[in-house]
């Protein structure tokens, strides 16, 4: 049974493996470890017993939340884990007005997942990504309408 829990140091090596297989310009293992010590960070993993299936990392200032990184392991994709992670992240940010993220312009499956969850495109950041260079679509989910 897959559960969502707070990321611990023990999760990091598996998260790093997922990161390397998911992104052309992955975060370093040290970068993941450093996230554990930063206040206001939201660090969640989806686990099946001791196996990490996916993760989401972001932050919140109480008004706006940001998703910095989300990925699901190859063998667990298309099983609702990304949705579980998004849902858990949004629950942690229920008092915020909105959640914002960037996604590669070419990553249509991720954009479709975000749209199904209620995110909408609000802009483009030119040449935001490297390796390969690509625009980012900025997407936002309005939790509270002002």
B/e letters for 115-134, b = 16+ CB within 10 Å, e = fewer, are eeeebeeeeeeeebbeeeeb
User: Is the separation of the CB atoms in 141 and 107 below 8 Å?
Assistant: no
Active site residue 117: no
Determine which one of 16, 55, 102, 141 is catalytic: 102
Let me know if 141 is a catalytic residue.
Answer: no
Q: How many CA atoms lie within 13 A of 55 on its CB side?
A: 26
According to DSSP, the residues that pair with 45 across neighbouring strands are 5, 55
Catalytic residue, candidates 16, 55, 114, 129: 114
* Strand 98-104 to 64-72 pairing: parallel
Active site residues: 102, 114
């Amino acid at each position: 049974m897959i559960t969502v829990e707070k990321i611990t140091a023990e999760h990091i090596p598996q998260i790093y493996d997922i990161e390397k297989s998911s992104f052309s310009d992955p975060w370093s293992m040290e970068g993941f470890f450093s996230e554990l010590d930063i206040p206001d960070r939201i660090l969640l993993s989806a686990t099946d017993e001791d196996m990490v299936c996916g993760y989401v990392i972001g932050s919140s200032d109480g008004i706006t939340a940001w998703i910095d990184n989300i990925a699901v392991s190859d063998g667990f994709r298309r099983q609702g884990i990304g949705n579980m992670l998004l849902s858990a992240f949004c629950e942690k940010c229920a008092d915020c007005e909105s959640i914002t993220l960037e996604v590669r312009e070419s990553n249509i499956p991720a954009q479709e997942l975000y749209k199904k969850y209620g995110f909408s495109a609000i802009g483009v950041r030119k040449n935001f990504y490297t390796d390969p260079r690509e625009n980012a679509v900025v997407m936002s989910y309005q939790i509270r309408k002002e």
